[in-house]
Amino acid sequence: MNEIQRALIISKILNKTYPKIKVPLKSRNVFTLLISVLLSAQCTDVNVNNVTKNIYPKYYKPKHFKKLGRKKIEKLIKKIGIFRIKAKSIYNLSKLLIEKHKGKVPKTFEELEKLPGVGHKTASVVMSQGFGFPAFPIDTHIHRLAQRWGLTNGRNVIQTEKDLKRLFPKKNWNKLHLQIIYYGREFCKARDCYGLTCKICTTCYPKRKKPLITKKA
Using CB atoms within 10 Å of the CB of residue 156, give its burial: 0 to 12 exposed, 13 to 18 middle, 19+ buried: middle
- Confirm if 131 and 29 have CB atoms less than 8 A apart: no
Q: At what angle do helices 45-52 and 30-39 cross, to 10 degrees?
A: 130
Active site residue 71: no
The 10 Å Cβ neighbour count of residue 57 is 9
Residue type, 137: P
- Confirm if 112 and 37 have CB atoms less than 8 A apart: no
Which of 121, 162, 175, 192 does the annotation list as catalytic? Answer: 121
Which of 66, 78, 88, 139 does the annotation list as catalytic? Answer: 139
Active site residue 139: yes
Please identify every residue annotated as catalytic.
121, 139
